[in-house]
Amino acid sequence: MIKQFFSRKRQSFDDDDRIEAEEYVELDTSSSRGDGDQKVIVRPFVITDFADVKPILDSLRESYTIALINIKPLKDKDLLELKRCINKLKKTCEAIEGDIAGFGDDYIVVTPNFAEIYRGSSGMDAGFE
C-alpha cells in the first residue's frame, strides 16, 4: 500500500515535470535593450570657451543626443574662438554622419546620424552645412 502511494506520487511528479517542460520559454538576454529602445535626449549646452566643446562631442559620440548649443556667450567674447568651436563640431558631425545647422543667430543644432535637420524655413541658417 505504501509502495503504491509513492509510485502514484512519483508519477504525478513526472507529469508535472512534463507540463513544466512544455511551458518552458527561452528568453534572449544578450540584448536586453536594443538600439531601437533607447530614448533620444535633447540636451542644451552653452559654449563660453573652446573647452566647452569636449562634453558636447562626447555626448554626441556616446549616446542618442541632439545638442542645442547656445553660442552667444562666446560670440560676444571671441569670434575666432567661436569659429574654432564650430569647425570642431562640424568635423565630429561629419565623422558620426550627423547633421549641424545654425538656428537663429545664437544657437547651433547638432544631431547624430539617425536625425536630420529640416532646412525649409527661413529660421535655419544653412551656412554650417
pLDDT digits (tens, 9 = 90+) for 108-125: 999 999 999 988 865 555
* DSSP, residue by residue, 71-121: -HHHHHH-HHHHHHHHHHHHHHHHHTT-EEEEETTTEEEEE-TT------S
> Looking at this protein, which amino acid is placed at residue 18?
R
Residue at 117 is within a domain: yes
Residue at 3 is within a domain: no
- Look over the chain and give the mean of its residue pLDDT values, rounded to a whole number: 80
Domain containing residue 121:
35-128
Residue at 119 is within a domain: yes
Residues in the chain: 129
pLDDT digits (tens, 9 = 90+) for 26-75: 655 554 445 556 788 999 999 999 999 999 999 998 878 999 999 999 99
| pTM for this predicted structure | 0.64
Distance separating alpha carbons of residues 22 and 29, to the nearest angstrom:
21
Residue at 24 is within a domain: no
Give whole-number Cα distances, 14 to 6, 71, 114, in Å: 12, 72, 53
Total count of domains within the chain: 1
Residue at 20 is within a domain: no
> Looking at this protein, which amino acid is placed at residue 83?
K
Residue at 8 is within a domain: no
Distance separating alpha carbons of residues 47 and 8, to the nearest angstrom:
78
Residue at 18 is within a domain: no
CATH number of the domain enclosing 107: 3.30.110.150
pLDDT of res. 109: 96
